[in-house]
Structure formats: structure tokens, C-alpha cells
């Protein structure tokens, strides 16, 4: 059998959730499991996030999957309802929704809220994707409060990973002043939710009532000034394969599609049983490597659909069937993202189901 696997370390996920609680001890935790838990398999990850106060999903379809799997605690649909029928289902089944445009507001106001019903009211502070403006937000909050809703004011950072980006301060000030105004002029019980993963790490004084960790849960760094290891995060996904063939090339021999790597001297190369059909990126920089027998083996040539090649010339103890780690402890998912000029989020979320998937506690 082809030795290509994805191992999900549920204990690492639980560890990372605890790290969030260490960073934000006074806030409730909305653990983001949208996009199938960032590619990790949301249903299988439920036991590892059991201590979260609620789960965040992108859409009702994701919430339904988790309900059917047995999740009984709160869920929040961060893109909100896409139809009146969805809104009605959510309100009937204690699923809370973000409201970010007029049509969703109209659905919310069509009938009085049930006791304890909560709306996550989206304020646009500069991301300029979703949300109401500051000029609109007071009247909307008054309408929701009059209809019996509790409110969590929420917004989303555009540059939280860059701690000194000037837009962060602008968003802070806009959110802070708006939340204060709403508490003074509409309802003092209105809650706030500002921080994503990067915000949780960077700004301990901005955690408010709810934090919304995403990538930090899965063991990748959310900031550009510290590695995951420096933040005491543990990788949750380990992507592994094996050496399926070994060849010796003479000087001048090329390997792979496009012949983009040529041996300058005699070289020993290994063929690894993984490719872009498994979720490993096709375009990778010359710095890229895998780890085999505890040693770095540079990736050479072009990654293909089912396999990639590594240079074993300067490694020892790497033989046929030797296990190969593509990402996990080393290299980290953040390193691989850098080699691909992308971010960990993308790589994790597009891994395919072709490898063997293993969940371990």
C-alpha cells in the first residue's frame, strides 16, 4: 500500500486551545472550526475542542454537520443566514448568527426574539468586506434590542498579524468608541468580540467578552514576529509519506517534468510517494526540504501529481521505505507555506482525502 498519510494529533489541538485560554483567561472562546476545521476534519476534532465555549462555523451547512455528530453546545454562523428559512432554523435550534447586512437584519426583526436570543452584530472597522458602518450601527442596535435580542458587537482585523500596522490602531479606536457608545446609549449589556488568533497573541487588553481563535488552534503561528514553537503551540497535522524508489544519477542527468533540476555531480535521489493530488503544493521554492531519518533532504525538480523527488546525496541512513515528513514538527507548516509563497491556512485546508487519515488522542 502507498505509504502516504495525514495524522491528526487531537492532544495537540487540546493543548493549543488551552494556550488560547492562557492568553485570554477572562474571555469566552469561540473556537473556529469552519472549512472542516481548517482541513483537519471538524467532526473528528470535536472531542479535542470540547472545552471551548462555542464553535464558529462559516455557514449553516457546517453547523448541521456538527449537530448531527452530537455537538450540543453553542454554535455561531459567522457569515450569517443566507435565507429566511436558514434564519428561522437557527433561531429554533439555538444557533447564533452574525448579522452583517440589511436583509439579514430584516429577517431578525420580522418576529420578536426568543428569550436569550443573541445576534452577533458586525461592524465594519476597515476590513471593508462585511458589516454595517458606524453611522448605521446605533439605530440597528436599538432595533435589535427593542425586539428582544442580546447583542455581541463584532468586527474583523485586516492586519492583525503585523503588530505595528497603522490600520490596527484605527480599527481599535473605531471598535472601542462604538462599543462604548452602544453600551452608554443603547444597552450596557452589549458584549464585544474583536480578537482573532493574532489579536489574542498581540493585544491582551483587547480580548473583551469573546475571542475567536482559528489558526492558532491548529498549531501554526498567527503572527509574523514569532514562530509557533516560540508561542508554545503544537502542530496538529502531520503529513507523511515514504521513499518509494532510490536512483543514482550521473553528472548532467536531469529529473522530473521540465528537467528543471540537473545533477552537477553524481547524485543519489529518492522518489517520495506524495504529490499535489495529495495536497502537497506543486510550486515550491529551492529552499524546500523534507525530513527523512531525522535529516533534511532537499526537494528537487518539479512536484508531480503523485510523487516528488529529493536529493539524498548528503544524507545517511535513508533507504527504501524510509518514512518522510512533509510537514509537522519539522518542517513546520509555516515553513512550507513560505516556500510556496502562501500561508498555512491554505495548505491545511486543501489537503485531500487520498492519503490515509489517522486520528490519535
Q: In residues, how long is the chain? A: 361
Query: With bands split at pLDDT 50, 70 and 90, how would you rate the model's confidence at 341?
Result: very high
Q: How far apart are CA 325 and CA 241, in angstroms?
A: 6
Is 130 buried (19+), middle (13-18) or exposed (0-12) by CB count in 10 A?
middle
The residue-averaged pLDDT of 273-293 equals 96
Angstrom CA distances, 135 to 106, 129, 152, 179, 180, stand at 18, 17, 18, 13, 14
What is the residue whose three cell numbers read 473528528? 44
* Residues pairing with 310 in the sheet: 270, 299
For 41-72, what is each residue's pLDDT tens digit? 999 999 999 999 999 999 999 999 999 999 99
Residue 80 has pLDDT above 90, yes or no: yes
For 214-273, what is each residue's pLDDT tens digit? 999 999 999 999 999 999 999 999 999 999 999 999 999 999 999 999 999 999 999 999
The residue-averaged pLDDT of 126-154 equals 97
Residue 94 has pLDDT above 90, yes or no: no
User: Of 34, 38, 208, 345, which is the active-site residue?
Assistant: 34
Tell me if 181 is assigned to a ligand binding site: no
- The mean pLDDT of the chain is 96
For the question of residue 345 being annotated catalytic, the response is no
pLDDT of residue 187: 98
Cell of 271: 522518489
Provide the CA 78 distance to its chain's centre, in angstroms: 14
pLDDT of residue 267: 96
Q: What is the DSSP string of 244-273?
A: EEEEEE-TT-EESGGG-EE-SS-EEEEEES
Task: Give ranges for CATH 3.20.20.10 in the chain.
Answer: 10-223
CA-nearest of 236, 237, 145 to 191 is 145
For the chain, percent of residues with pLDDT exceeding 90 = 97
The residue-averaged pLDDT of 328-356 equals 97
Query: With bands split at pLDDT 50, 70 and 90, how would you rate the model's confidence at 112?
Result: confident
pLDDT of residue 111: 83
Contacts of 83 (CB under 8 A, 6+ apart): none
For the question of residue 359 being annotated catalytic, the response is no
Q: How far apart are CA 237 and CA 358, in angstroms?
A: 10
Tell me if 129 is assigned to a ligand binding site: yes
The CATH H-level superfamily of 237-359 is: Lyase, Ornithine Decarboxylase; Chain A, domain 1 (2.40.37.10)
Tell me, which fold does domain 10-223 have in CATH? TIM Barrel (3.20.20)
Query: With bands split at pLDDT 50, 70 and 90, how would you rate the model's confidence at 26?
Result: very high
Please tell me the pTM assigned to this model. 0.96
Task: Give ranges for CATH 2.40.37.10 in the chain.
Answer: 237-359
For 211-248, b/e burial (b = at least 16 CB within 10 A) is bbbbbbbbbbbbbeeeebeebebbbbbbbbbbbbeeee
Amino acid at each position: 500500500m502507498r505509504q502516504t498519510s495525514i495524522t491528526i494529533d487531537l492532544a495537540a489541538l487540546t493543548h493549543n486551545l488551552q494556550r488560547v485560554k492562557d492568553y485570554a483567561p477572562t474571555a469566552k472562546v469561540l473556537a473556529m472550526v469552519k472549512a472542516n476545521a481548517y482541513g483537519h476534519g471538524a467532526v473528528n476534532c470535536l472531542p479535542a475542542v470540547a472545552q471551548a465555549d462555542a464553535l464558529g462555523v462559516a455557514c449553516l451547512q457546517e453547523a448541521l454537520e456538527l449537530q448531527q455528530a452530537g455537538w450540543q453546545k453553542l454554535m455561531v454562523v459567522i457569515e450569517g443566514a443566507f435565507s429566511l428559512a436558514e434564519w428561522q432554523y437557527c433561531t429554533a435550534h439555538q444557533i447564533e448568527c452574525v448579522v452583517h447586512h440589511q436583509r439579514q437584519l430584516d429577517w431578525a426583526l420580522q418576529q420578536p426574539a426568543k428569550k436569550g436570543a443573541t445576534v452577533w452584530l458586525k461592524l465594519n472597522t476597515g476590513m471593508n468586506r462585511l458589516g454595517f458602518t458606524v453611522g448605521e450601527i446605533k439605530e440597528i442596535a436599538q432595533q435589535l434590542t427593542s425586539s428582544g435580542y442580546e447583542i455581541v458587537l463584532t468586527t474583523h482585523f485586516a492586519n492583525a498579524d503585523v503588530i505595528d500596522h497603522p490600520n490596527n490602531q484605527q480599527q481599535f479606536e473605531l471598535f472601542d468608541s462604538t462599543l462604548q457608545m452602544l453600551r452608554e446609549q443603547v444597552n450596557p449589556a452589549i458584549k464585544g468580540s474583536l480578537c482573532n488568533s493574532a489579536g489574542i497573541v498581540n493585544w491582551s487588553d483587547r480580548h473583551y467578552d469573546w475571542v475567536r481563535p482559528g489558526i492558532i488552534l491548529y498549531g501554526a503561528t498567527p503572527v509574523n514576529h514569532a514562530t509557533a514553537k516560540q508561542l508554545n503551540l503544537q502542530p496538529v497535522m502531520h503529513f507523511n509519506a515514504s521513499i518509494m524508489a532510490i536512483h543514482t544519477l550521473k553528472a548532467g542527468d536531469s529529473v522530473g517534468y521540465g528537467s528543471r533540476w540537473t545533477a552537477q555531480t553524481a547524485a543519489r535521489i529518492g522518489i517520495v510517494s506524495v504529490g499535489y493530488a495529495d495536497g502537497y503544493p506543486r510550486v515550491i521554492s529551492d529552499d524546500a526540504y523534507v525530513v527523512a531519518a531525522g535529516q533534511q533532504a532537499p526537494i528537487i525538480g518539479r512536484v508531480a501529481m503523485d510523487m516528488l523527488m529529493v536529493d539524498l546525496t548528503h544524507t545517511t541512513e535513508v533507504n527504501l521505505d524510509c518514512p518522510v515528513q512533509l510537514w509537522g514538527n519539522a518542517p513546520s507548516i509555516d515553513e512550507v507555506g513560505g516556500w510556496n509563497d502562501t500561508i498555512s491556512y491554505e495548505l491545511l485546508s486543501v489537503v485531500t482525502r487520498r492519503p490515509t487519515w489517522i486520528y490519535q488522542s
